[in-house]
Structure formats: C-alpha cells, structure tokens
A and B are shown apart, each in its own frame.
Chain A
Amino acid sequence: MPVSSRRKTTRRARSARCRPRRRAAARPYFEVLFVTPTPPSRWAAHAQQIRKLRRPEDEFVYEPVFVGSFEDAALAVILNTNLESVVIYDGFPYESSRDVPLLKRAAVVQAVRRAEGPRGGRQRPDAGEDSSKRFRPELDIILLADQKPDAMISDPAAAGIRRVFYEVEEPLEIHLSILSGVAERNVTPFFDNLKKYAQKPVGHLPRAAGGARQVDLQVELDPRHGRVLRGQPVPRGIVGDLRWTGQPARADRQHQEGAGRGGARLRRRSRVLRHQRHLDLRTRWSTRRCSSRATSSSPIATATSRTTTAWCCAGAQPYYVEAYPMVAYSMCGAVPIRSIKKALLDLKAAGRLDKVKTVTLTNCTFDGHVYDVRRVMEECLAIKPNLIFLWDEAWYGFARFSPLYRPRTAMGARAVCKEAFADPAYLERYLAQEKLLGDESRSQGRARARHAADPRSAQGQAARLPDQLDAQVDVGAAARVDGAGRPTRTTTSTNRPSRKRCSRTPRRRPTSRSSRRSTSPAGRWSWKATAW
C-alpha cells in the first residue's frame, strides 16, 4: 500500500514538474547570455539552477548561454540572434580561450573595443555592458556586482544597465528582471489592435438595419511568427482608429522611445516637428505636412528630385541639387556632399543663406545608394548651424536593427553627432580648423575638405540637436518591419475625393442619430464602397 501510494505521488509530482516544460513549447523563446568568471566545469550545474527558476505563469521561456571572457561575449552578441539579455558577473577576463583571428581583426569589434578598459586581467563590468549596448542597443544588461552596486549604478558610464544586483542575492529577482525587460519590448500596440480587430465577429446585416460595423478585414496571421501574411484590404475605420486614438498613441510613443528618445513627448499637432512621425500611412501627405512645418515663411529648401513636389505644395522654394548621373545605366545616383555644400555656399555668397531652412534627401534611394548621413549633417551644419534635415527613409526602415547600417540612418547619425558635439576634443578640432582656414572660410576652399561644425553654436540652441537634426522616417518600411503589413489601398486612394476628405482631418464620430444620418455615406464609411 505505502509503496503504491508513493508511486502515485511520485508520478503526480513528475507530471507537475513536466507541465511547465510542456507549456514552454508554446511560449516565445529567447536566450540569455551569462558572462561569468566561473570555470566552465560549473556551467552545466549553474544552467540547471537557472532553469529551476521557471514558473508556469512566465510569459516567455529562456535558456542560458555561458561565456567566460569579453571576446567570447562579443562573439556571442554578434552571432547569436536569439539573445535578448546579457547578465554580467563582476570580474570576467578579456582574452578568449579560443583562437578567433577574424574576430580580432573585425572592424565591428574594433569599434566596440573603444569602450573597454585596460586589456588583460579583470575587466570592469561596464566595459562589457557598454560595448554590447553599442552593438545591439536593444539588449538588456543586468549586472551582478560584488562591490557597492549602489555606487556602480550611479556612475554615468552605467547608464545603459537595466539593473544592478549585489552578487546572486535574489535569483528570482534576476529571473523576473530578464522577463520583464523582454516583455516591455514585446508589446506591439499596433499589431495587437489589428489582431483584436480581426477577431471581431463579422456582421452580415446592412448597416442601416443593424448599425453594426461591417468589417471586411482579411488578416491572415502566420501562426509561427505572428506576422501578417495577407493584410488587405484594411478598412478606413481601422486606419483612422489606429492613427489617432489609444493604442497607436502608445505605439507612437513606444516607437520614439525605441528610436532613442527616452521620455518622448507625444505632441500630435506640435508646431515644431520634434519627433519622428511613425504611424502615418500616407507618406506623401506626411512629407508635405512635415515640410510645411519645417519651413514656415517662404524659405528655400535644398532637395532632390522626388521630394520637390512636397516643397512646392508647402509654399517653399525648392533649390534643386542634382545627383551624380550614371549614364551607362541610365540611372541617377545620390547627391554628393560637395554639391550640397556648393549650393549652400553659393547661396551664402548671394546673401540668401538665411532663407535656407531645410535639406531634404532620400537616404537609400531606390537603387540602393546610402549616404554618409553623419558627414552630410556635420558639414552642412558647419555652413549653417540651424539647418533642419529631413531624411526620407522609406526603403530603409530595417536599417535600425543592424549595427552595420545604423550609423548610416538619420536617427543613428543624429545620436553619433550629438555625442561628438558634446566632446571637448571636437571643439578643439573645430577651432584648429577655423584657425587654419581663416578668412578663406567664405571661399570655395571650404567645399573641398571635410569640416567640423561649431559645437558651441550647436549647444547654444537649447536642447539643440533634437530640434535641428529632425528626421522624418517615412513609414511604409517601418510599418512593414513592424509586421503590420501595409494597407496598399490607403496609399493609392488619392483620386477619391471622399476618402481624401476623411483622411486629412480625423473626423469626430457623430454622436446623435440625426448627425449620423447627415454624414454622407461616402465620408467616413467610404472604405466599404471602395474596398472591393
């Protein structure tokens, strides 16, 4: 008797232990990098302890990945795309025990290495933190310090660290910190809204009789990735909702935070263009709106071909700068920096530089030309320190995710510029350059060499860079990365005046019955008629 009962409890206990593991298959999976000085022989036992922390109510499931040195950690961060968090133990060594010549030679690592402390011996833990943040800013860093965690977190160099713990005091806390960090990033208001909308029952009665919103939304979700396989047509109503209320407002804010603006203000109708416009589905109109805000009174804008329409509509005077031609292939390239500088210097010579407000360029053209964004902005600011830059990156939304591309995006270059301008060495470089150039600064000599902008005049304007280096990321591509699919109908609907009307100004939903009747059917609900 006692034997059988014991067997029963054992079985139950075993099944209880197995249950979370079985559930784990359905949960999103990621990996956590542990950088630790402990010998590899203890890693297996350590991993087992970490797995024991799993609870059935966890939103995600993760596996630990152990490395023993800075170089191995760099390698893991570069190669392992499943990593979402890094847990760093104090006092790991620098050199890898493996032979990785390519890694040591790789330029990426050279760039990463700038942040690290003295070679050899014990590494400062924030060396690992800083370098992995530079390479993949989305990673969460958790530091386990063996001395004064409070002093460590207040150090400005540790700004990128999510949490600092004193040794392994609270294993469950560490576990929860890892999960909460990922959960924060996993929130997708735009996409969640779309899914919620797609799950609504579809009514079949005519609207006049039932009053129910009819939805012709065929969203097919890929069950494995949760991405939209086929997302059209998206009805007018949902686009309107997504743009102006609740969820999208959060999505917009989240996007800005993700783009490197902590504590972003969401000012939907702000006079000054302060942030990236993200959730705008009509790119042409959004360009026009941004243009008109950036240039208030008959200014001059330097622009390349396709954006000039927007400027004309905004009442600006376009100043066209030509791209280099590729006659052999009947293509146009991109606009060389020296042409842009020449245009600005010509205007300066004509005494019209004060009229120049913005420079608009298409980063990553259709044929794949990508600018050195930092250099363009820096050198234009050297000529006119309060320029506004509008970068059209409609084909380039993915670039933010790659450390290779990121410095060549508008927002990535903005971060680099901001950091450089705050550096005293940059001011020294600028002063030396001015001394060298002297009065020649007015001449064309300036157009030839690479120049530094005056960081003081850049700092003179309060919170200057956010105002100056505004970037408009065109949204088609960004939305696609988002996994939300692109409602193609919306972008091609300019020939329908009714839709245009309701798309320009977000209309308030009529409240009373009579006003609802007076709303023209071609107005708010026109998606129904045109979606077929």
Chain B
Amino acid sequence: MELEGYGLVMQAIQLAIEIRVAVNTHPLVSKYFRVLDVEHMVPAEFRQSGLKSYTEGGATWADAANAFREDEFILDPTTAVADVRDRGLRRHAVQEPARQRATRSSSIRPRATRCCCRPTSTTPRSDVANLLKVLVEISNEIEQRLKSGGDEARTAFAARVKSLVEDVPDLPNFSHFHDRFRDDPTGHDARRRHARRRSTWPTTTTAASTSS
C-alpha cells in the first residue's frame, strides 16, 4: 500500500481544496452552502500561526505546512464541512439528494445542521463535478421555491434562517457520570462539577448557570 499512498493522499488533499473553492465561489451554490474554513472551525487562540483559510487570502503550501507545525489544532483539509444552516436549510434538504445522487466513494455524512464531505484516497476527480452538480440542483430548487412562493415563502424562509442562525440552542453541558462510575460521588467529583460551572467556557456556562 505504500507504493501509492503518498500520491493518493496528495490527490485527496487536492480534491478537497478544489471542493472548497468550487462550493465557496460558485455564484449560485455559495448562496446556500458554505464550506467552513480554518478560521470558523478553530478559534484564534489555538491558531498560533494565524492561518485563516486554506483557499483564500493567497495561502500557499508553505503557510499550511507552517500551521501544521505550530498550531495547537488544525483543520484537516480533507474534511469539508459545509454549513447549510444559515441559508435556511436543514439537513433533510441535503441529506437524501446528496446520498442518492452524489455519493459513490466520497463519503457524505450529514448531521443536524451541517454536512460533511470527505474525499478519500480513492475518490475520482469526477466526483467533485458530480457533487457540485447535486448542490446546484438543490440550490435551484430552493430558488424556485422562493420565487414561486411569493412574499409568504420569503418571510417564512427568513424566519427559519433566524431560528437556525440566531436562536441557537446551547450545547448540552456535561454534568457528571452516574454514581456507579465514581469512587466518591459526593467528594472530589462533585466539587469539580461546581468548579466547572463557574469556570470553563463563557458560551456554554450560560445554560448551566441559568438552570442552577
């Protein structure tokens, strides 16, 4: 397998970069889909090298290699996570068509509000075109729906975008394991639980502090 591993992985990275560029620059598709880049996935505090994007801002291989060497977390370039939510879509809109029409060897795994596409080492180049074709079809369907529905459809669409983008629910906050899996449920772990609620992340603690 080592006979071709180097070349295949290089090819997979290349395809992933092409998917990123193709989706984010296509005039129609980019209205409804956006492949998340490094700056969206990794907060600045974990990016010592300051790399923001693999595709935009004139980033070269040298910049990417630098980020791979220095940063606490990097985004795997072959994982293209498309955010479909802030365009008013839920996964059902993408999941079935994408599964049925586009997947062959690149795996597309939709989750609740985003859809992830990973070109693997055996993904042929034509799969990128195929994926884009499906995304164009889905985008067209949405456009048609919005056009034919008139104002009602547009306001409904705007409301849905708002509910998905702005009224984001907090992530579930981890509390503690069941007593069975702890040595002293009333001791250290319990103290730690309170400490957690006060400290850690400002964004997640809101839910915990309001509930307690």
Number of interface residues of A (CB under 8 A): 67
Interface segment, one of B22-30, B37-45, B127-135, B151-159: B37-45
Q: Is the CB of A372 within 8 A of B73?
A: yes
- Given contacts A370-B74, A402-B13, are A107 and B69 in contact (CB under 8 A)? yes
B-contact 0/1 string along A176-197, CB 8 Å cutoff? 0000001001101000000000
Contact of A369 (CB < 8 Å), options: B8, B41, B83, B174: B41
Q: Is the CB of A327 within 8 A of B5?
A: no
Residues of B39-90 contacting chain A, CB below 8 A: 40-43, 46, 60-62, 64-66, 68-69, 71-76, 78-79, 81, 83, 85
Q: Is the CB of B42 within 8 A of A322?
A: no
Q: Is the CB of A366 within 8 A of B203?
A: no
Residues of A207-261 contacting chain B, CB below 8 A: 227, 258
A102 at interface, CB cutoff 8 A: yes
Contact of B73 (CB < 8 Å), options: A317, A369, A398, A482: A369
Interface segment, one of A16-24, A147-155, A404-412: A404-412
Nearest to B171 among chain A residues (CB) is A325
Most buried by B among A312, A322, A330: A330
A463 at interface, CB cutoff 8 A: no
Number of interface residues of B (CB under 8 A): 62
A523 at interface, CB cutoff 8 A: no
Interface segment, one of B94-102, B139-147, B177-185: B177-185
- Given contacts A182-B3, A370-B75, are A327 and B69 in contact (CB under 8 A)? no
- Given contacts A136-B6, A369-B42, are A337 and B62 in contact (CB under 8 A)? no
The smallest beta-carbon distance between A77 and chain B, in angstroms, is 10
A selection of 10 A-B contacts at a CB cut-off of 8 Å is A107-B69, A317-B183, A327-B168, A337-B72, A367-B116, A368-B41, A370-B75, A370-B76, A401-B5, A405-B9
Q: Is the CB of A317 within 8 A of B182?
A: yes
Q: Which residues of B contact A298 (CB under 8 A)?
A: 183
The smallest beta-carbon distance between B36 and chain A, in angstroms, is 7
- Given contacts A327-B204, A481-B5, are A369 and B183 in contact (CB under 8 A)? no
In Å, the complex CA distance between A324 and B201 comes to 8
Contact of A401 (CB < 8 Å), options: B2, B81, B112, B182: B2
B192 at interface, CB cutoff 8 A: yes
B188 at interface, CB cutoff 8 A: yes
Q: Is the CB of A329 within 8 A of B73?
A: no
In Å, the complex CA distance between A106 and B65 comes to 8
Q: Which residues of A contact B81 (CB under 8 A)?
A: 367-368
Q: Is the CB of A102 within 8 A of B200?
A: no
Q: Which residues of A contact B106 (CB under 8 A)?
A: none
Q: Which residues of A contact B60 (CB under 8 A)?
A: 102
Residues of A294-327 contacting chain B, CB below 8 A: 298, 308, 312, 317-318, 320, 322, 324-327
- Closest 7 pairs between A and B when the two form their complex, measured CB to CB: A81-B7, A368-B79, A401-B5, A368-B76, A107-B65, A138-B2, A402-B9
A375 at interface, CB cutoff 8 A: yes
Interface residues of B (CB under 8 A from A): 1-10, 12-13, 36, 40-43, 46, 60-62, 64-66, 68-69, 71-76, 78-79, 81, 83, 85, 109, 112-114, 116, 118, 120-122, 168-171, 174, 177, 181-183, 188, 192, 196, 200-201, 203-204
Q: Is the CB of B168 within 8 A of A401?
A: no
Q: Which residues of A contact B69 (CB under 8 A)?
A: 107, 111, 407
The smallest beta-carbon distance between B132 and chain A, in angstroms, is 20
Q: Which residues of A contact B62 (CB under 8 A)?
A: 102, 105-108
Q: Is the CB of B201 within 8 A of A398?
A: no
Q: Which residues of A contact B71 (CB under 8 A)?
A: 372
In Å, the complex CA distance between A408 and B68 comes to 8
The smallest beta-carbon distance between A334 and chain B, in angstroms, is 5
Q: Is the CB of A364 within 8 A of B76?
A: yes
A336 at interface, CB cutoff 8 A: yes
Q: Which residues of A contact B122 (CB under 8 A)?
A: 227
Q: Is the CB of A401 within 8 A of B201?
A: no
B-contact 0/1 string along A384-415, CB 8 Å cutoff? 00000000000110111110110110000000
Nearest to A228 among chain B residues (CB) is B122
The smallest beta-carbon distance between A158 and chain B, in angstroms, is 22
In Å, the complex CA distance between A66 and B123 comes to 32
Contact of B1 (CB < 8 Å), options: A107, A188, A326, A371: A188
Q: Is the CB of B109 within 8 A of A370?
A: no
In Å, the complex CA distance between A81 and B14 comes to 14
The smallest beta-carbon distance between B1 and chain A, in angstroms, is 5
Contact of A329 (CB < 8 Å), options: B2, B64, B74, B83: B83
Q: Which residues of A contact B192 (CB under 8 A)?
A: 346
Nearest to A484 among chain B residues (CB) is B1
Q: Is the CB of A327 within 8 A of B203?
A: yes
Q: Which residues of B contact A317 (CB under 8 A)?
A: 177, 181-183
Q: Which residues of A contact B168 (CB under 8 A)?
A: 327-328, 330
Q: Which residues of A contact B10 (CB under 8 A)?
A: 81, 402
In Å, the complex CA distance between A473 and B183 comes to 30
Nearest to B71 among chain A residues (CB) is A372
A483 at interface, CB cutoff 8 A: yes
Contact of B5 (CB < 8 Å), options: A108, A138, A339, A371: A138
Q: Which residues of A contact B200 (CB under 8 A)?
A: 322, 339
